[in-house]
Amino acid sequence: MALSRLSLRSNRFLRPSTTAAALPSSIRRHVSTDTTPITIETAVPFESHLCDAPSRSVETSSAEILSFFRDMARMRRMEIAADSLYKSKLIRGFCHLYDGQEALAVGMEAAITRKDAIITSYRDHCTFLGRGGELVDAFSELMGRKRGCSNGKGGSMHFYKKDACFYGGHGIVGAQIPLGCGLAFAQKYSKEEFVTFTLYGDGAANQGQLFEALNIAALWDLPAILVCENNHYGMGTATWRSAKSPAYFKRGDYVPGLKVDGMDALAVKQACKFAKEHALKNGPIVLEMDTYRYHGHSMSDPGSTYRTRDEVSGVRQVRDPIERVRKLLLSHDIATEKELKDMEKEVRKEVDDAVAQAKESPVPEPSELFTNMYVKDCGVESFGADRKELKVTLT
């Protein structure tokens, strides 16, 4: 249904058809740098709670939509590469993949700056990439190499990028929510006009600490935006089985909320822009992003015991974020099929190169076990089983 609505709308903006082959290359637009504003309507309206929903007309540009496509394609490829690396046992432990939810990461980035903070849970690979993280750093961290963004000591669930205000990367469900409100508090304390986006899932939405933190954020007027990435399943439990009230954007009660189609990058961008303005003036707001993950909860979860394959493929056909943007690009004549396919090939190569590079990079030295325990002023000593073999001062 969303598909038909999109094509219906795009027909209104359809330019007179000219194929790329017909146009001589000298007068082709340079699409990747074209920033003339375009206005596009979102397919699904916003639902709001205690506030006025933003307009459905999103201001964007060809360059931006193209960057959405490229970034989402890169994220998708990265996650698929991670899938096969996990199956070949190069990535161990837990690996939570984000494919299907990419629109959230790119849409959010388009609305904010690198000084606004983002903190999320363990499904953090794409958010890291969105914040400017390098593919090779991500893959190195996943494979436990020294080159990794956390020196190989964090793993899949602990990606951080301090210079881009990306605060991770947290393994315990919901524990990042008070941290996120603390980041917002620090922003308010320093009187800089930045906000914090605290991401959590529909599973974490039932945690007490969410409501504790929301209470404090509302009480102290913190510039905190709590984003519920509702992918409808908390591991194997569907939302209707875990939440009495699955309207997560309303659960803030006294805090305004907005429900957004999380598979539409432009809608996400609009909502995040709206939320940032709101948070700076009026304090916290809850965003519920209606999204979906194609993989299971993690690589250990096939993802098919609690949902049908038809459901997954149905969402992929109708709501896939990358396909949406592709159709937008094609219908607005911003790029051709071939250009987009070439772009995807480039991205694929990028990812493959990064994987190869990460595979070659060295594992951490054994002495790294004891580094970054304390900031250098403690002098704690630690011993191994054989004191003569291993005796070290924690640094």
Partner 1 sequence: MAARIHGGAGAGAATALSTFNPKKLVAPSRTNLPAARSSKRCIVAGGGSDASKSLSVRHSQKLIASAAVATKAETSATTGTGHELLLFEALQEGLEEEMDRDPHVCVMGEDVGHYGGSYKVTKGLADKFGDLRVLDTPICENAFTGMGIGAAMTGLRPVIEGMNMGFLLLAFNQISNNCGMLHYTSGGQFTIPVVIRGPGGVGRQLGAEHSQRLESYFQSIPGIQMVACSTPYNAKGLMKAAIRSENPVILFEHVLLYNLKEKIPDEEYICNLEEAEMVRPGEHITILTYSRMRYHVMQAAKTLVNKGYDPEVIDIRSLKPFDLYTIGNSVKKTHRVLIVEECMRTGGIGASLTAAINENFHDYLDAPVMCLSSQDVPTPYAGTLEEWTVVQPAQIVTAVEQLCQ
CA atoms within 13 A on the CB side of 303: 19
User: For residues 198-222, b (16+ Cβ closer than 10 Å) or e, as one string?
Assistant: bbbbbbbbbbebbbebbbbbbeeeb
The helix (H) or strand (E) run that includes residue 83 is helix 62-87
Which residues of this chain interact with partner 1, rule CB under 8 A? 117, 119, 148-155, 158, 160-162, 167-172, 175, 177-183, 185-190, 208-209, 212-213, 215-216, 219-220, 371-375, 377-381, 383, 387
Minimum gap (Å) between residue 373 Cβ and partner 1: 6
Minimum gap (Å) between residue 124 Cβ and partner 1: 12
C-beta of 201 vs 321, nearer to partner 1: 201
Q: Is 221 helix (H, G, I), strand (E, B) or coil?
A: coil
What is the distance, to the nearest Å, from the Cα of residue 66 to the centroid of all Cα atoms in its chain? 18
Minimum gap (Å) between residue 130 Cβ and partner 1: 18
Minimum gap (Å) between residue 144 Cβ and partner 1: 12
The helix (H) or strand (E) run that includes residue 392 is strand 391-393
Q: Is 152 helix (H, G, I), strand (E, B) or coil?
A: coil
Q: In whole angstroms, what is the distance from residue 81 CA to residue 229 CA?
A: 23
Q: In whole angstroms, what is the distance from residue 31 CA to residue 328 CA?
A: 14
Q: In whole angstroms, what is the distance from residue 72 CA to residue 66 CA?
A: 10
DSSP 166: B
Minimum gap (Å) between residue 175 Cβ and partner 1: 6
What are the start-end ranges of the E strands in 120-270?
196-201, 224-230, 233-234, 237-238, 257-261
Minimum gap (Å) between residue 104 Cβ and partner 1: 21
DSSP 55: P
C-beta of 216 vs 238, nearer to partner 1: 216
DSSP 35: -
C-beta of 88 vs 190, nearer to partner 1: 190
For the chain, the residue count is 395
C-beta of 148 vs 321, nearer to partner 1: 148
Backbone phi, psi, residue 375, to 5°: -75, 145
C-beta of 37 vs 366, nearer to partner 1: 366
Minimum gap (Å) between residue 114 Cβ and partner 1: 14
C-beta of 155 vs 321, nearer to partner 1: 155
C-beta of 101 vs 176, nearer to partner 1: 176
Q: Of 1, 87, 3, 19, which Cα lies nearest the Cα of 330?
A: 19
Minimum gap (Å) between residue 253 Cβ and partner 1: 15
C-beta of 84 vs 372, nearer to partner 1: 372
